[in-house]
Amino acid sequence: MNAPKNILLALLAGSGVGMAVLAAGTQSPLAMPGGGRFVAEAAGALAVCAAAVAWADRIPSNDRIFRIAFFTGLAGAVLQVSHMSLEALGQHVGDRADITTGFMAAALLLWGAVGFAVVWRAGRMRDAIFAAGYSATATMIVAVAYGIGLAWAGYPDETYVRTWPEFIQSGWSDARAFAIANSFDAVLSHFVAAPVIGSLLGGIGAGLAFMLRRSRAGSAVRDT
């Protein structure tokens, strides 16, 4: 299963190049007070994620688990990219709380469902937790790459960023630099939170599958 791993590593490499160019630009966060922290944290998170992806295919007990995790991650990525597009390109419709909650809930359900599916098909708890955590990570790798691409293209626009309470309170004078720093900050938060939340939800889904399987087995015994 080298192809999925190579795809994710290529997206991480592309994100790294994009981040480096943005950090070296004329409106770099490095030129703003404390901006170096956003660049350093994003670069560190990217490197750790790449190392994890390069090693992670050794964990599942078979390639089927790996395929389930990867393609569930791509499904989650479609949700995330759609939401980000509504935020950046759809007159900021994606910023509405109900829309954000809906997309987030759908992604969370996906990660829980993959844990359930692995155990339901007689997989092990370890495989279920891996599949959910890996799928969440794959989702965020695609989302981060797309987010860096949006930053390259100048989204969100500076006029909109100037309305953000976070920008107003930051003391920064460059809204474009703040938007780039915000994209870098998302790299760290997404790569830290996704595998943890995904694994947790996968464990919950797997536990539910175990209970349902035992219940069905008990019913079958009583019916004989």
Residue spans of the domains in the chain: they are: 2-223
pLDDT recorded at residue 222: 54
**What's this model's pTM, rounded to 2 decimal places?**
0.91
pLDDT recorded at residue 64: 87
pLDDT recorded at residue 203: 95
Handedness of CA 114, 115, 117, 123 (dihedral sign): positive
Q: Check: CB of residue 140 under 8 Å from CB of residue 78.
A: no
pLDDT per residue, tens digit, the chain (224 aa), is: 588 899 999 999 999 999 999 999 999 999 999 999 999 999 999 999 999 999 998 888 788 888 899 999 999 999 999 999 888 876 667 677 888 889 999 999 999 999 999 998 877 889 999 999 999 999 999 999 999 999 999 888 888 899 999 999 999 999 999 999 999 999 999 999 999 999 999 999 999 998 988 777 666 545 55
How many whole angstroms separate alpha carbon 130 and alpha carbon 114?
10
pLDDT recorded at residue 215: 79
Q: Which helix (H) or strand (E) holds 189?
A: helix 175-223
